């Protein structure tokens, strides 16, 4: 069986670290993800996807991510049931994060006005962490065929 989800979007709020009675770190946050398809003449739709992260992943997210920052999450989809305050049975769909990554450049600012490398709020100091850097555009696609030389093959392997 396969249960794999990968999303990339912006955090809708600062993640908050909580601890279970057993001392396990956990955080829940929501990621705003734009839909790929946009109907002509209408604004692009956005989905708000709930994510939960445990242990070191939760500590990493709360330490280095802030509202408005781009984030990539890889994990599995979980559906869990619960009872609301009125006794009605409800279900929640969320992604349980296995891996969380930076997206965008350090200089990019999010909706919250802070950059990816912005310091953490007081009481939760964090050393600066380099953000993922986009390719500068200088790649193989810009090279001319004359920029490459042919490699002569002999019967010996190079390794």
Distance (Å) of CA 131 to CA 2, 43, 46, 68, 110:
30, 30, 24, 14, 13
Residue 138 domain-assigned?
Answer: no
Instruction: Count how many domains the chain has.
Output: 1
Q: Which domain holds residue 128?
A: 5-133
Query: Which CATH number does the domain housing residue 122 bear?
Result: 2.40.50.140
Per-residue pLDDT of 4-20, as tens digits, reads 999 999 999 999 999 99
Residue 143 domain-assigned?
Answer: no
Residue 48 domain-assigned?
Answer: yes
Tens-level pLDDT at each residue, the chain (159 residues): 999 999 999 999 999 999 999 999 999 999 999 998 888 888 889 999 999 999 999 999 999 999 999 999 999 999 999 999 999 999 999 999 999 999 876 655 444 444 333 333 444 444 444 333 333 344 444 455 555 555 565 666 554
Residues 6+ apart with CB under 8 A from 43: none
Q: How far, in Å, CA of 104 to CA of 46, rounded?
A: 19
Residue 76 domain-assigned?
Answer: yes
């Amino acid at each position: 069986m396969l249960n794999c989800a990968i999303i990339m979007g912006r955090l809708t709020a600062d993640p908050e670290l909580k601890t279970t009675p057993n001392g396990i770190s956990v955080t829940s946050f929501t990621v705003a993800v734009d839909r790929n398809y946009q109907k002509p003449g209408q604004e692009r739709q956005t989905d708000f996807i709930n994510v939960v992260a445990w242990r070191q992943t939760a500590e990493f997210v709360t330490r280095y991510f802030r509202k408005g920052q781009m984030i990539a999450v890889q994990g599995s989809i979980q559906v869990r049931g619960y009872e609301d305050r009125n006794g009605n049975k409800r279900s929640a769909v969320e992604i349980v994060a296995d891996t969380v990554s930076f997206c965008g450049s350090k200089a990019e600012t999010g909706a919250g006005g802070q950059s990816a490398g912005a310091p953490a709020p007081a009481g939760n100091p964090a050393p600066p962490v380099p953000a993922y850097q986009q390719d500068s555009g200088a790649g193989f696609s810009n090279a001319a065929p004359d920029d490459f030389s042919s490699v002569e093959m002999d019967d010996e392997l190079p390794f």
